[in-house]
Homo-oligomer: A and B are copies of this chain.
Amino acid sequence: MLSGPKSYLRENPYMKKSREETAETRQMIVKTAAAEFRKNGLQMGVADLMSAAGLTHGGFYRHFQSKDELVAEACVEALNTLIDSLALTASKNADSGPLKAVVLKYLSTGHRDHPANGCAFAFLGGEIARCEKKTREAVAECYQRLIDLVAGLLPAELGDRGREAQFIVTSMLGAIVMCRIPTDRALSARILNDTAEQIITRYSL
């Protein structure tokens, strides 16, 4: 194969370095899109996205078949990064209430005010629900990952930790969706604080 006819060459790992660099560029576009979509919504344009990544729009289709493909990957990237960072928060607070730390981090004004690093379920949920099947399924898998993380932080005594985790996650999600609507900062903060307090009290975190 390695010394085979020309038509086979494309399937072999020639030009390794170039391919690695290309993959890095692609990943950088995905990461940029993950931030920009959360800030501006999924209707943000390909040209603006590429320029936020320091490139011009024409090169976009060297990396992606369509904008939809990027949307799917960017949502998954955004969610996995968020879940990783919540898992890190949990392990950093393993001794002093890991779930409490996760809840307080998720329901913080910092989360509310920095959509670029925030929860794509909350910032883009409505739009994702209108996306194509593949995107929705990939995002649903991330949801499962988040549920599993939270379930693992709940006391083993609890009857059905998955169900409790589901409730905790959707509660927090709803609070972040809602708290971003009012322009009244006090009302907004109250939504976050009330929800955090309810969860912490109910689960004695």
Which residues of A are at the interface with B, using a C-beta cutoff of 8 A? Answer: 40-41, 43, 121-130, 133, 136-137, 139-140, 143-144, 163-164, 166-167, 169-175, 177-178, 180-184, 187, 190-191, 194-195, 197-198, 202
Contact = CB atoms under 8 A, between A and B. Distances in A.
Within the oligomer, what is the number of copies of this chain?
2
B181 A143 contact: yes
A171 B175 CA distance: 7
Contacts of A43: 43
Nearest to A43: B43
A177 B136 CA distance: 12
B40 A130 contact: yes
Contacts of A175: 170, 174
Given A167-B194, A171-B174, 10 more contacts: A121-B178, A125-B180, A125-B181, A136-B183, A163-B198, A166-B191, A167-B171, A169-B174, A171-B171, A174-B174
B127 A126 contact: yes
Contacts of A122: 125-126, 177
Contacts of A164: 198
A41 B130 CA distance: 8
Contacts of A174: 169-175, 177
